[in-house]
Structure 1
């Protein structure tokens, strides 16, 4: 087995602006160079319409301790984005539920530690009333929040939330309304 396949979990799929694969690169290198790569964000809602947020673990390589959507990561080579969403939802939050594609968007955000997120992000929604069983290596806390309260909190305290959540929140709300 070659080195790339042995460390598949450390690689991201580089893409063009149409989400066509153009290569593979080690995750940290992609974030240091700010290269566009495939990612996903999962938003889980309960039957009351509350959104399950996670607070990222303090050991995360960027955005530690910030509140974010339920789960996010990168698919592996040969893995569908939907399969990657289900895998990471289980690994991070201990949850399983049906997921539906909502929309995609491209964003670029620079962090104070020199890392750059430049992602073609696929957004999926799911619904469950199960309570998460968090992986403390990934998540330090969780809570359900109404969309109205989240909008207010992001306006009042944007420093407490991840960049990608703030960027895609209007599209999430728009998608929920339509």
Structure 2
């Protein structure tokens, strides 16, 4: 497949990506691919609508097999985050007032600092149609929101994971010009 190189070291580290009640196998697969593109490997699924494993997810993952095969399914969000020391929740809703709201850049830098300190962290992503509930957001330590058009703020699940995964990878580079591959 174009863009892959089995001779290179596979980066597989960082925060857990937690999908809460994902609906479409295709989105789960595209999430796995986005994670693999940016060095993330731990996918946690909370009660996926169509069950697990999913042939549609495997197909859409397009060779991100290590992410798909290691994905874990949890019956509840509480169980999915129980071993994590710090959790961000992504949301497009207005700030709640009781939790800090961070940009993706600030959140990724914070996650990188926590990773280097050996903390287990995660990022919550909600349902394709309705996002996270207030009760689910309450389980997070802080929030992440993206600078988007306020009249059209809802992002596709795989796209929002890709954006956050990109910021994660970028936070580990020594400089903006630095890249993890040879030109």
Q: Give me the TM-score of the superposition, normalised by structure 1.
A: 0.25
Higher strand proportion: 1
TM-score by length of 2: 0.24
